[in-house]
Amino acid sequence: MKIQQFEDKGLAHYAYAVLCEKTGEVILIDPARDPQPYYDYAASNKAKIVGVIETHPHADFVSSHVEIHEKTGATLYSHSLVGAAYPHQSLDEGAELQIGEVKLKALHTPGHSPDGISIVLEHEGRDKAVFTGDTLFIGDVGRPDLRESAGNITAKREELARQMYHSTREKLMKLDDDVLVYPAHGAGTLCGKDLSEASSSTIGAEKKSNYALQPMSEEEFVKILTEDQPFIPKYFGYDVDLNKQGAPAYQSSLENVKRREKNYQPPAGALVVDGRNVKTFKKGHVKGALNIQNGNKFETWLGSIVGPDEHYYLIAASEEELSNLVSKAAKIGYEQLIDGAFVQDVAAETSSPILDVEEFSRHQDKYTIVDVRNTSEVQGGRFFEKAINIPLPELRERANEIPADKPVVVHCAGGYRSAAGSSIVEAALPGTRVLDLGEAIHTFKNGSK
């Protein structure tokens, strides 16, 4: 028996393959949008994918479960409460799957979602591992506030937090201490708030170190779990519904994205996402374009700034980067929203002014300062006492709250978000001088008035 973990660093996502070497059969758990790594794994082990388990309808990425079923004939499994629109078998509390010498046992573990399950792997008569989906993470548990308006069954965060209390204590924590814990996410996901960098753990280690598994009353647990959760990206509900239905095949969906000629001019007023680096963007870009730079979190910020009800044009600096950005958009199902993708290698009609940091430092009162960090970050300390805080995911909707009587300086904690933020404000406040503090924020981190 082998367990293989697959990691997508951009979305801090873990998928798994369970291989029975005796029978040459593979069960996949929570696969990502691109199914090719799983096909390659099965081929390298001369094995066949016979099943795919979805621990719940994921909010933060699109799964390839339906595509894998259509290509391989693998049986799809999910909890009956999912209301899955694809062909599947229900995997409810107590259900078991046998592949050769491996037994997979379902636990209904609601808390992150009403329909969440965890899968206990039994081998040679002993529980060896548990695949916890978004219920139990390393150092944390899944957030309970994502299913208030999405999915087949909705539930208020307090209700789900209570369910999480019982799922952890009455089911997962009763497993043997040496049972390995394999979650669907690691540090960096927005499906929890305090995840460890580790990719696996044990039940015993989590009982000792995970804040959510410490002795406390149900009321205390609900209070701790529902407070200080990170923002909810715009795309999360869209992905829950897409996973409940089943996404189109990955490769053919990429090929359906319309490629435009180099330096194409989108229609006036069109939403444009420019993934080029900030220096290139500021030298010249399509008027009104949003600068969401290609990077480790491109897909998260794309789905946080652009809503699933919007269509957009996508720009990159090269064909290679364009293909990379389209692939990242596809991880969250946003390739279907692209009206055109093209390379831009000349400076377009609009350039952005560059901030004189020394001048700004000496005369901060001459500027309106906008802090696009999350509210929790600002509560941990301000860099500029009079800065207006509008978190980046809310900025497009709230940019009109920014006074336009002075030049506007936008900052975040490191420079990535301020590039996007300054482009949003520039598009929203035509005629106002909008400047990006960028990485120069590091010179102000000791506090500046």
Pair 119, 96: CB distance under 8 Å? no
3 state DSSP class of 330: helix
The reported pLDDT for the residue numbered 228 is 79
Please say if the pLDDT value at position 349 is more than 50.
yes
Reported as a single tens digit per residue, the pLDDT across 72-119 is 999 999 999 999 999 999 999 999 999 999 999 999 999 999 999 999
Q: Could you give the number of structural domains in the chain?
A: 3
Do 214 and 278 fall into the same domain? no
- Give the structural domain span for 428: 357-444
The domain that holds 196 is classified in CATH as 3.60.15.10
Neighbours of 113 (CB within 10 A): 33
Biggest distance spanned by C-alpha atoms of the chain? 73
Do 288 and 149 fall into the same domain? no
Phi and psi of 140, rounded to 5°? -160, 180
- Say which residue the tokens 């420019």 belong to: 274
User: For residue 293, which amino acid is it?
Assistant: Q
Q: How confident is the model at residue 447 (pLDDT cuts 50, 70, 90)?
A: low
Please list the residues that pair with 118 across neighbouring strands.
107
Q: Which of residues 318 and 385 earns the better pLDDT score? A: 318
Distance CA 128, CA 267 (A): 57
The DSSP H or E segment spanning 278 is helix 278-283
**168 token code pair:** 């952890």
Do 132 and 266 fall into the same domain? no
The domain that holds 383 is classified in CATH as 3.40.250.10
Using the Cα atoms of residue 92, residue 17, residue 9 and residue 238 in order, give the sign of their dihedral.
Answer: negative
Distance CA 416, CA 77 (A): 39
In a domain, 372, yes or no: yes
Neighbours of 398 (CB within 10 A): 13
Spell out where 134-248 has E strands: 180-183, 201-202
Reported as a single tens digit per residue, the pLDDT across 161-171 is 999 999 999 99
In a domain, 449, yes or no: no
With a pLDDT cut of 70, the percent of the chain lying above it is 95
**366 token code pair:** 């001459």
Do 39 and 114 fall into the same domain? yes
Do 216 and 146 fall into the same domain? yes
In a domain, 196, yes or no: yes
**280 token code pair:** 């290139």
Distances (CA, A) of 401 to 390, 425, 428: 9, 10, 11
Which of 343, 368, 401 terminates a domain? The answer is 343
- 396 Cα distance to chain centroid: 20
Using the Cα atoms of residue 263, residue 332, residue 13 and residue 128 in order, give the sign of their dihedral.
Answer: negative
The reported pLDDT for the residue numbered 191 is 62
Do 226 and 256 fall into the same domain? no
Do 130 and 35 fall into the same domain? yes
Please say if the pLDDT value at position 151 is more than 80.
no
Distances (CA, A) of 165 to 112, 134, 144, 175, 176: 11, 14, 11, 15, 18
Q: pTM for this one?
A: 0.93
